[in-house]
Amino acid sequence: MEKSAVIYTRVSTDTQADKGYSLRDQEDKLRRYCQHNDITIVEHFQDDYSAKDFNRPEWKLLIDFLKKNKNSIDLFMFAKWDRFSRNMEAGLKVLNQIKALGIGIHCLENNVDDSIPENKLIQTVMLLLPQIENERRSLSVTAGMRRAMKEGKWPRQAPIGYKNARDEENNKVIIPDPKTAPLIQYLFNEMAKGDKTQQEVRKEMLAKGLKCSKNNFSLLLRNPFYIGLVVIPEYKEEHETVVKGQHEAIVQKEVFNRVQDILIGRNRERNLSVKRSEHPELPLRGFIVCSVCGRKLTGSASKGNGGKYYYYHCNNCGNRFKADLVNTKFEKLLRKITLNDEVKELFLQAVRHMAKESIAIDQKEQSKVINELDRQKSRKERLDTSFLDGELPAANYTQLVKKLDQDIAKLSQKQKELNRTKDDFNKDLVSGVQAVFNLRDLYLKSDITDKRRIIGSIFPRKFIFEENKVRTEEMNEVIRWIAKNSRAFRSIKKGQPCSKTELSRLVIPPGFEPRS
């Protein structure tokens, strides 16, 4: 029997066409497949937006079309999983939305028959890998930018008063903007006098043609970039540092320091409040809503019997609960979210299998880097020979060697990063899976900040606590799938309590179970 389908293609950058992701390539593959399998294409939708979310204009039209024509469409088709989505959780929700319309899902590359319950794990991996690739690329970009900043370069858009340009060797540089640099100098000199407020100076600069919002103007006054410095922000275990920039300063250091003293003095006079610190005893503050009025519960400590006792409470209607009790209930819930060793190993094998393509790309890139590194080293050897033989003047030799040394250093650093990515993959994979499958241990070992991140990532909706029981309306799609396959949750049906926990129920939204 002939089937009907809606096909979808997406590309976000021109460079993706070089990897076989072009819109035409995707469309040709889909049309050839449909022709060979007697599938009629009802409509074709294509996007040129990022797959980080589904806030894409053409995608909204596609969903509306599927809803209006659900009775006449059998399949929703796309070429690759990363063309569909690079956000695992959002992707799973959209797949469930489409399947709820009675429309099947078909991906040309690595298609998954999700009518088999175990295959949902593979489908999750398919959507997880593009997200991992995005995050790894983001880490590489961040590392590259920080490396440039440590050398005194500015790899971003030039601040007001400067402009992006290129030098004689076509390298990116930051230079003073002839139009706005004098205005920056003027406003710092005016602020340094101390007789005008920020708002007064900002209005004066607006009249002179320097457009800047109130918030950005305040940041501008505190930016040491204008005295020739580059601030490298804190990142992971690296503390914030300041290095001398390769750009030209346009504000005198004495003037800048005077402005900072004035700004600090005014802030003290205003007695600005300090952000409230988080209490380790109240990790669920802000995640629980009142069962009576629906407002978020806050938390505080009460003194008594020689100690402090913490409570979650509602400022509106007065409901309050002992923090220890609520925290214990939540930890018991996390203890139930586990997988047996067989399922854990299946998940690891699936991720390793699907990651082979990504690793192969890294190895190919590493081979290119090694070849280029050998080529540059050979050039340097020939350059040394020419200099020693008197064929190359010393001035030219010094300039050329400096450029080659810089290129060799960059290539060597890139080779190290690619090696580290390859060597650490399995270790990171195993530790990551262990963390997901042992959420309670991860939660208990974490500080208050990471605890709150874990809570927010697992449970996108708020909790309700009443009658010594915790209720929640939604769980992260992947964690929910893990819970449904764990021994403790295997017998739980929708809306019913678990026999081995004091939690009243874990309500699972419809759409994840196989259709009957």
Highest mean pLDDT among 17-21, 63-67, 112-116, 141-145 belongs to 63-67
Higher confidence at residue 310 or residue 507?
310
Which one is predicted more confidently, 438 or 192? 192
Same fold, 3-137 and 162-270: no
**Is a pLDDT exceeding 60 seen at residue 53?**
yes
Is pLDDT above 90 for 249? yes
Structural domain spans, the chain: 3-137, 162-270, 288-338+443-506, 343-437
pLDDT-derived band at 435, boundaries 50, 70, 90: low
Q: How far apart are CA 374 and CA 369, in angstroms?
A: 9
**Residue given tokens 């072009």 in the structure block:** 22
- The answer to whether residue 45 scores a pLDDT higher than 90 is yes
**Tens-place pLDDT, residues 306-336:** 788 898 888 888 888 888 988 888 888 777 7
Lowest mean pLDDT among 120-134, 149-163, 269-283, 360-374: 269-283
pLDDT at 496 over 70: no
What would the two tokens of residue 104 be? 């099947």
pLDDT number for residue 494: 44
Q: pLDDT-based confidence at 490, cuts 50/70/90?
A: very low
Does residue 169 surpass a pLDDT of 50? yes
CATH class of the 3-137 domain in this structure:
alpha beta
- Nearest CA among 157, 164, 158, 163 for reference residue 178: 163
What is the reported pLDDT for 271? Answer: 45
Tokens representing 306?
């020689």
> Is residue 503's pLDDT more than 60?
no
Higher-confidence position of 266 and 337: 337
Report the alpha-carbon angle 86-90-92, nearest 5. 95
Residue 371 amino acid letter:
N
How do residues 339-392 score in pLDDT, each as one tens digit?
A: 666 666 776 777 667 666 666 666 777 788 888 888 888 888 887 888 777 777
Looking at residue 30, what is its pLDDT?
93
Mean pLDDT of the chain: 79
Do residues 456 and 285 lie in contact, with contact meaning Cβ atoms separated by under 8 Å? no
Report d(CA 355, CA 425) in Å as an integer.
10
Average pLDDT over residues 216-222: 91
Q: Which residue has the higher pLDDT, 178 or 481?
A: 178
CA-wise closest residue to 337 among 485, 237, 145, 223: 485
Is the model more confident about 53 or about 231?
A: 231
Q: Which of 8-17, 72-81, 456-465 has the lowest mean pLDDT?
A: 8-17
Q: At how many degrees (to 10) do helices 119-150 and 394-437 cross? A: 150
Coil vs helix vs strand at 469: strand
Are the C-beta atoms of residues 243 and 150 closer than 8 Å to each other?
A: yes
- Whether the pLDDT of residue 472 is over 90: the answer is no
471, β-bridge pairs: 464, 505
Confidence at residue 488, expressed as pLDDT on a 0 to 100 scale: 43
Q: Comparing 164 with 110, which gets the higher pLDDT?
A: 164
pLDDT at residue 19 above 60? no
Q: Specify the range with the lowest mean pLDDT, choosing from 63-67, 104-108, 137-141.
A: 137-141
The fold for domain 162-270 equals Hect, E3 ligase catalytic domain fold (3.90.1750)
pLDDT for the residue 13: 58
